[in-house]
Structure 1
């Protein structure tokens, strides 16, 4: 049984940072079964009015990847709005890489919009480091990673 989608594709939402403030997320894909793909942005924002949706672009994302959508459904990651003129081809589901540290082998996977793997090929580990990690991030992992990425860009 499908549960409901957390929001339409193109929805902009806030992700709480562990040390205060929020990052911005854009829901690029959602299955209605808990799987989502999104793009995430800094810098840290303190209030909803600080969100400038016209400046959001995949090329400016500090993190992209698959994540669980439960915190959007629970409204713990509040929705700000929907991008004007949303087009899925402008916000693609990126190829994602995984590395087996034990063997030193790596693979690049391509997914369709329903999160089905359509292609997988072996690549070198250096190339793999240039792609988002092929993993499903929980809410806590997203919050911790964004906190770390944004903190690293801020002046002391």
Structure 2
């Protein structure tokens, strides 16, 4: 009887250890939501239904939080300076992780290409985006990229414009 009880406990312990929640994956519903958000951005279809009402976005900042509607305004303002822009399909990487605290995050590494409307100069920039999810909705979006080449080009365009007016 004792051996039967120990065998039963060993089976329960072994079964519970093997039913561990996935902490890392490259296929999940959350990744599909991020891919939809990227597709929407590329199509200039700004759909905030993927985001929780309380979602906050940070782009190249640790303090300038934007709501979903402010993020759309940010994108629309930036869209005005490009004749074309969007994420490419060149080796995108997506991963979902569940942190030790139980938070669900999707990370992605993408290439972005854009052409300035003012002078047709093209830019190709690697971008890292990460999204936190709660109940299937994005509650936080954080993006980092080096926009210095674009900023310098816009400054040069503005300087040239000012010089020609004088």
TM-score, reference length from structure 1: 0.32
Which is higher, the Rg of structure 1 or of structure 2?
2
TM-score, reference length from structure 2: 0.30
Q: Which has the higher helix share?
A: 2
